[in-house]
Amino acid sequence: MRAVALIGIDGSGKTTQAHRLADALTAAGRPATYHRNAGGRRWLGRLAHRLGRPDAQRLVGRSGMLAVESVLRWLAIAVALLSCLATGRVAVMDRYSACQFASIRAHGGQRWERLARAGYRMFPRPQVTFLLTVDPAEAYRRIEQRGTDHESMRYLTAADTAYRTLPEYPTFVVVDAGRPPEEVSRQIQAHMAGWLAPADGRDGRSTDGRDGRPAVVPAPPGAEPVAIGRLTA
């Protein structure tokens, strides 16, 4: 089973890049499926507004919101992984377990993190996890521009800090998502070069490390290369 995750604060462009990566992998002969592993916070927010509350936290409380979000995201990831296992397709994950841990930290619910980690421990680590970083002010501008939801600058700043302080942070491939989407896509696909090469390989060997050696994909200047074959959990 192969999975790639794209994580980051709201407004970082995860959804756009996840769709593009799934399309690129499929075009390269490695069928991939996009999976949106949302935690339901947007839906809860809309429900809160309909009921006259300013946000989801005011509707169900901080603990209630984190509990609902953790369960819904867990279910979404579980379904995505089972689908990947059944079909053999690459799972391109728009959000993963790290997003839940970061959300818990950003909302000041640290006591929930240990419980969430216990519940999410069964999920394998993706072969590659891209952390899309963007200045919270730019993320806020993008969210307001799309007009489908709202996040406060305070939350976006806290979430940005949360991602950078997760114990998993050293394993992330950090991508500057403050640039135009095309540039971001090029950097992501450069890291995935071993997967985007023709699936059969001209020399008859696998290009993704299945011949027993890790496939090292090129990184942009100043970044470390990623050994795909060594990132499995």
Judge contact between 37 and 165, C-beta under 8 A: no
Q: Please, which pLDDT band fits residue 48 given cuts at 50, 70 and 90?
A: low
Task: Output the six-digit token pair for 30.
Answer: 């490695």
Q: What is the pLDDT of residues 161-205, one digit of tens each?
A: 999 999 999 999 999 999 999 999 999 999 999 898 765 544 433
Instruction: Give all domains of the chain, ordered by start, each with its CATH number.
Output: 3-205 (3.40.50.300)
Q: Please, which pLDDT band fits residue 44 given cuts at 50, 70 and 90?
A: low
DSSP 169: G
State the pTM of this model.
0.79
Q: Can you tell me the distance from the alpha carbon of 111 to that of 227, in angstroms, rounded to the nearest whole number?
A: 34
14 C-beta neighbours (distance < 10 Å), count:
23
Q: Please, which pLDDT band fits residue 45 given cuts at 50, 70 and 90?
A: low
Please write down the long-range contacts of 150-159, taking CB distance under 8 Å and 24 or more positions apart.
150/45, 151/10, 151/11, 155/106, 155/107, 156/9, 156/10, 156/11, 158/105, 158/106, 158/107, 159/9, 159/10, 159/102, 159/103, 159/106
Q: What is the pLDDT of residues 204-220, one digit of tens each?
A: 333 443 333 333 333 44
Decide if pLDDT at 227 tops 50.
no
End-to-end CA gap in the chain: 11
Q: Can you tell me the distance from the alpha carbon of 116 to that of 11, in angstroms, rounded to the nearest whole number?
A: 24
Q: What is the pLDDT of residues 87-114, one digit of tens each?
A: 999 999 999 999 999 999 999 888 889 9
Decide if pLDDT at 60 tops 80.
no
